[in-house]
Amino acid sequence: MPGDAGSFPVVLILKAAVSSATTSDPLAVLIPRIAGGDRSALRQLYQATSAKLFAVCLRILSNREESEDVLQEVYLTIWRRADRFEADRASVMTWLATIARNRAIDRLRARGPLAVAAQIDAMEIPDKALGAESILEIAQSVEALNTCLSQLDARTQGVIRTAFFEGVTYEALAQRLDTPLGTIKSWIRRGLLKLRGCLEP
């Protein structure tokens, strides 16, 4: 995380207080604090939004390590450009998601002209409400997601992590485990149902 930037200007404290009282976007109060160099505000924003932004990156890149790298770039961009956020044009989450999408697309293009994100299509299951992106969307933080994953049995946790966070297709996973494709899909579907139940309030 970026380092502290010294004392926090009083004018930004007042601006944050006004924003808190008048806006319906609970994240909006954090942005002027971040613009003023408040490291704790950036940490709060990260905890509240990182799982959702990771889902945006993963959707485009279908690779966990690259998505994690891009996610760090996203928060560095937020740290540097928080003063450019315009609340009357978009919600904080929309602004953040746009930054994440643009950074992920830049990374995808850097792979070369033949780069595609076809793995995501191969990993989809019929009930789209149970997709990895849906699960990540309802996760309030990466910590919450990991806590719920840890409650699954080792086999189910393993196939979900391998399929959705390592970019391995169902077919490749079935071959790796020497298990019928239908069984792999069944394990993942049941696991995602349990994850959703754990994550939803």
Considering the domain boundaries, does residue 1 fall inside one? no
Length of the chain measured in residues: 201
Considering the domain boundaries, does residue 148 fall inside one? yes
Higher pLDDT, 40 or 20: 40
Q: Which tens digit of pLDDT belongs to each residue from 155-172?
A: 998 888 777 665 567 777
Q: Which residues constitute the domain of residue 164?
A: 119-199
183 and 158, same domain (yes or no): yes
136 and 102, same domain (yes or no): no
* Average pLDDT across the chain, whole number: 74
Considering the domain boundaries, does residue 4 fall inside one? no
The answer to whether residues 30 and 92 touch, using CB atoms and an 8 Å cutoff, is: yes
Q: Which tens digit of pLDDT belongs to each residue from 115-126?
A: 443 433 444 444
CA distances from 11 to 17, 54, 86, 88, 163 (A): 10, 33, 17, 20, 48
- Looking up residue 88, the CATH number of its domain turns out to be 1.10.1740.10
